[in-house]
Amino acid sequence: GAVVSQHPSWVICKSGTSVKIECRSLDFQATTMFWYRQFPKQSLMLMATSNEGSKATYEQGVEKDKFLINHASLTLSTLTVTSAHPEDSSFYICSARGSRADEQFFGPGTRLTVL
């Protein structure tokens, strides 16, 4: 089946630094990718919808300037957490829809810890 990869799988950074997370569709083209954040023992919360070649659509309450999303190609979307703070520590997961209605592929997630 199709695979979505994320890099890095985990990252620890100092408060105030920026962190970039990559999401790649390895064997299919993904015009639309989704970014989620998951806090411990909670559900996945949709942060934004990333569309190739256009601006991302952010969910209400998600700061566009803090969580920069770029979807420059059909196989790569990036999420940059700018000026990260400890409250940004979370598990970030990307997802892409496949060509069939029953296909929704998820990356393995990136665990971000901000000190």
Partner 1 sequence: AQKITQTQPGMFVQEKEAVTLDCTYDTSDQSYGLFWYKQPSSGEMIFLIYQGSYDEQNATEGRYSLNFQKARKSANLVISASQLGDSAMYFCAMREGGWSQFYFGTGTSLTVIP
Residues that bind partner 1 (CB under 8 A): 31-32, 34, 36, 38, 41-46, 49, 91, 93, 95, 97, 101-102, 104, 106, 108-109, 111
Write down the least CB distance from residue 31 to partner 1, Å.
Answer: 8
Rounded Cα–Cα distance for residues 102 and 78 (Å): 25
Q: In what order do the strands lie in the sheet with 67-73?
A: 4-7, 19-25, 76-81, 67-73
Q: Based on CB atoms, which residue is closest to partner 1, 37 or 78?
A: 37
Q: Based on CB atoms, which residue is closest to partner 1, 33 or 84?
A: 33
> Quick one: which of 90, 97, 112, 110 has its CA closest to 45?
90
> Quick one: which of 110, 101, 111, 94 has its CA closest to 4?
94
Write down the least CB distance from residue 2 to partner 1, Å.
Answer: 11
Write down the least CB distance from residue 14 to partner 1, Å.
Answer: 23
